[in-house]
Structures are given as structure tokens and as C-alpha cells.
Amino acid sequence: MEFDIRTLILVIVTTYFIQALVFFYQYKIHKNIKGPGWWLLWSIGESIMLLLIFFGDIPSFHHYGIALRNLFGALGMIFLYIGTLRFFERNVNLKLIVLIFFIFFTFHLYFNFVNDNLKGRIILFSVLFSAISFMTAFSLLKFKNREVNLSANFLAGTYILYGVFFVNRVIITHFGVNSADLLSPCFLNSLIYFIGLIVSISLTLGYTMMINQRLNSEVIEAKAHFELIYNTSPDAITINRLSDGWFLECNDSFFNIFGYTKEEVLGISGTLISFWKNPNDRLELMKIISEQGFCDNYEVLLLRKNGPVFAGLLSANILNVRGIPHLYCVIRDITERKQIEEELKHKNEELKILNVSKDKFFSIIAHDLKSPFNIFLGFTELMVEQSEGWTLSMFREYATRMRESATNLYHLLENLLDWSRMEQGFIPFNPAAIHLNLLIGESLTSIVETAKLKEIEIISDINDDYEVIVDKNILQTVIRNLVSNAVKFTPRGGKVTLSALPVDDKKMQISIRDSGIGMSPALISNLFKLDVQVSRKGTEKEPSTGLGLILCKEFIEKHSGKIWAESKEGKGSEFFFTIPCS
């Protein structure tokens, strides 16, 4: 049975044209998928190849037509191979492609223009087509994945059969079967064109299936990713019908935050469940959405299932589900954040109180600084105006009092400067190991003279082997302040005893005990408070501000230690503090 070859070629060209439209559409809408553009070029190349067959009857164009149609045919097969590799996002060995094409086209030109040999051209063309077919089939089988397994196997099978057909054509042509003109109405030409038509349709179908399978896989994967994000989000997410609040979907966090089960919520209108502490908030939310189409970061108080109120931050947007408007809501539980904000607010209030306390503190300091200066100025004025006729003993007495006033003023200024430097972070902190006895001995140097004047004995009952890890300058300030206070509030003839006792391998407890006037429980409870006035005069009217104890507390805490006092009125006081030891 013979067919009109020209009609058959036109049918095949029409088929290739439809294929080109299919691949052009795929290329336009799926720019992220690599491959359809190359398959589009294959369809165009094959169409041009078949159309050029009609110009074979023109003598002046005969050889040029053969060269062009075989060129486009070869390029079409190469484009199929490249498109397959790019679909699987594999690199193309361009050197190999160029080499194959160069060899093919060089021999083709030879058999066409130098030695007009139809048999050689057919064998050369068939070898190229079979080789590209087998290479493409191999790539499909090697690089296929689970998502496109079916379509890749179908395409690979088609390419293998196509390659086998051209291998058979090489054998038939080589062993002497006469090669007819491509427009000759013979069985072999009809068979070639029918096989070409079937293969082209099969390839178009297979590649379209492969694209769709990949798209379906990506949709399924994207859906899985969305569901994972949806269900693992710490925020509550709901999808409600806009018209009546009917719950279409809720994520797991919604049920965890609100305390409901799926059966209690899904398929029920949101208006039937009490989520809002203030129902007017829902009306306000819907008003915002109706005006803007969305809502961002709307703070609202919500109710859990059993009634507890929590602060929520709600964002919502409208989306269509099967053409019906729904509300996509994300609700974040910001209870913890609101608590932190409240804590910060509380801390700010404490800071304001602290600043007020500091102002009060500096007011006290100003008063206490003024008193020693007044005494000092009073003595100097007295010496200037009434010193005539004074004896040496009188000069000595007033000089002694002036020295005491100057010493108290110096200690007050020293404490004030230390406190100021400490608040600004200007006091360096460099702890190092040092013998405790040595440190205490150096600290008491400036106090011993004052103690002698009051006939107070200072006793250091500390083991010579004790070693502590402290900042030497800072701890000397602590010891000077505590011992000075002990001397100040101890009557003449009393004692001040320093002792130390290891608490454990890492801490040493030091105590400074005096036989002084003691303190009331109320005074003890306010000793280390900046906003409470605890100053009182010493046993011989020595001034006191309480500033030294504030410094001691800050400095001991800087060493990760603690400081406290024990006392009874009339029975003396004992101050304790802990510091690191080695």
C-alpha cells in the first residue's frame, strides 16, 4: 500500500508545528524548568528539514537543499539531547557536541559536494541519529528521579527503538538495498516517515508528561513544605470563611494556645466560640479588613478555652478558597513579651526612684561636707581673732581638733570620690592572690593613730597562711571603712577585733567586731540602703554619713561576695563579709 509522500510530509510538518506550539507554551509559562526551549528548537529544526525536501527537485538548489535539511535535522536531534540534560539540570559537554557535529557535517559536505554519494549520506545521517538517540536514552535512565520515573522510562524506550531503527537502516543501506529519493512513493520512504511521525508524537507526549510530573511533584513538595511550616509555626494560624467565620482549617499551635480540640472548632462558626475578651475588638478587626483588605499587628486580648486571658498580636489577610473569600489569620501569643515590657516599665520606675535617692543622697553629702568645713573655718577664725595669749597646750588642742576635722573631711571626700568613680565604672577591678594579713596590715596604717587617740585596741586574729583573691585597692577601702566605723562607734578603752574563717574551698568569711554602742534592728535593716538616712554621730561626736557602708556593699558584691551585720544595742556590732580565697 502506497501513500502520497508529499501529503505525508505535510502531515508530519503540521505535527511538528503543533509540537512547536506546545513547547513554546511550556517554555513561556515554566521559565524555571530548563528543557522546553531546546525541545521547541528541535520541533522548528525538524519542520525546516522536512520542508526543504520539497526543494530537492530544483536542480540549482539540489545540493544546497540536501546540506541544509541534514544540517537542521542533525541540529534538531542535538537540541533534543541538550534539552534532556538541561531538564535534569546537568551540564552539557559542549566539546563533545561540537566534535560530533563537526565530524558529521564535514563528511556530509564531502558526500554531497565532492563525492555525490546518496548511500554515504544516508549511512552518515542514520549513524548520527542512532548515536544521539542512544545517548539521550542513556541520560534519561541515568538522571531520572522518582517523580518522573514513568515518563523518563517511556521516553528512553522510544529513543532506544528509534536508535535501533536507524541502526537497521545503516545495515540495510550498507548491504546494497537501493536508496530511493526521499520523495519517491516507495514502502521504505513511507515507513521512514510513519516512524518519524510516531516518534515525534511519542516524544512530545513523553516530554509533556515529564514536565507535568515534575510540576506535580513540585506542587506536592511545596504543599508539604507549607503544611510543615503551617503546623510547626509557634503562632496560631486559622482559615475562616469571611461571611460567617466558619473554621476551615487550624494549625496545631492554635489548639495548643487556645486549648480547644479539632472536633470543637473545625466546621463551626467562630461567632459561636468565645475567643474575644472584648467582642468589640472583632468588629474593629473586621472594619479594618473591609477598608484595607488586610490587618497587621493588631493587639488584642483573647480568651483560652477555660477562661484565662492572654495578649495576642493578630495579622490577617483575605484569600480565596474555591472562589469563596476566606480570612487567613496569624495569632502570636505575646503574653511573655508584655510581661517583659511590664518588667522594663517597672525597672524604669525603679531607676527613677534610684535617681531620686541619689539626689537625696547628694543632698545629704552636701550637708555633711558643710559641717566639717564650718568646724575647720570656725577654728581658723578663732585662731586669727583670739589667739593672743594662748598657751602652747591651747594651740595644740585646737590644732588636734582641726586635724580631726580635716581627717573626717578627707575620709568623706575619699568615699564620695570612690563612689562616684564606681558608679561611672572608672574603678579598675584586678583581683589577684594576696596574703590576707599583709593586706589588712596595710589597710590599718591610716586608722591606727585615730584608734590610739581614743585608746582603742585593734586586734587582728587572722591566720598568717590565709590567702585571698581580691582587688587589693578595693578591699583595702572596705576594711578601712569598716574598721573606721568600729573605732568611731566604740567608746574609749574599747576593742576592735578582726578575724577570718574559711567557709569552704572557695570562700573566706571576714568579721570586724567592736565593743561599741551597737545598733537597733531598724538601723541594721537600713544600713546598706541608699535612699534611707542612717548617719549618726560617733561616741565622741565624730560625723558619719553611711556612705562608707554603701561603698562596702558595692565593692564586696563586685567580688561576688555578701556583706551583713549583727548587733545589739549597748553590746557592740559585728560586720561580716565573704570574699574569694585560694
Top-confidence range, 243-252, 277-286, 567-576: 567-576
Q: Is the separation of the CB atoms in 105 and 71 below 8 Å?
A: yes
Rounded mean pLDDT, 344-364: 71
**H/E element holding 310?**
strand 309-321
Q: Which pLDDT value is given to residue 197? A: 86
pLDDT at 560 over 80: yes
Q: Where are the alpha helices (H) located in 245-317, listed in sequence order?
A: 252-258, 262-265, 279-292
Percent of the chain having pLDDT more than 90? 29
Rounded mean pLDDT, 242-248: 83
Pick the range with the lowest mean pLDDT from 53-57, 139-143, 421-425: 421-425
pLDDT tens digit string along 163-216? 999 898 888 887 765 555 555 666 666 777 788 889 889 999 999 999 999 988
Rounded mean pLDDT, 448-464: 87
Rounded mean pLDDT, 438-451: 84
**Nearest-angstrom CA–CA distance, 312 and 236:** 10
* Residue-averaged pLDDT of the chain: 84
pLDDT tens digit string along 66-111? 888 889 989 999 999 999 999 999 999 999 999 999 999 899 889 8
pLDDT tens digit string along 315-348? 998 888 888 888 889 999 888 888 888 888 888 8
Q: Which pLDDT value is given to residue 186? A: 66
Q: Where are the alpha helices (H) located in 144-273, listed in sequence order?
A: 149-174, 187-232, 252-258, 262-265
Amino acid identity, position 319 = L
Q: Which pLDDT value is given to residue 514? A: 95
pLDDT at 292 over 80: yes
pLDDT at 24 over 50: yes
pLDDT at 418 over 80: no
Mode of pairing for the β-strands spanning 573-580 and 507-514? antiparallel
pLDDT at 3 over 60: no
Q: Which pLDDT value is given to residue 469? A: 94
pLDDT band of residue 12 (cuts 50, 70, 90) is confident
pLDDT at 544 over 80: no
pLDDT at 357 over 60: no
pLDDT tens digit string along 153-166? 999 999 999 999 98
Rounded mean pLDDT, 375-380: 68
Q: Is the separation of the CB atoms in 476 and 444 below 8 Å?
A: no
pLDDT at 546 over 50: yes
Q: Helix, strand, or coil here: 297?
A: strand
Q: Which residues pair with residue 276 across a beta bridge?
A: 302
Q: Which pLDDT value is given to residue 75? A: 92
Amino acid identity, position 389 = G
Residue 574: CA count within 13 A, CB half-sphere: 12
Mode of pairing for the β-strands spanning 324-333 and 507-514? unpaired
Rounded mean pLDDT, 123-151: 93
Q: Which pLDDT value is given to residue 205? A: 93
pTM for the structure as a whole:
0.51
Q: Which pLDDT value is given to residue 1? A: 47
Helix axes 62-87, 94-109, angle to 10 degrees: 170
pLDDT tens digit string along 126-139? 999 999 999 999 99
**Nearest-angstrom CA–CA distance, 384 and 400:** 16
**Nearest-angstrom CA–CA distance, 159 and 145:** 18
Higher pLDDT, 365 or 17: 17
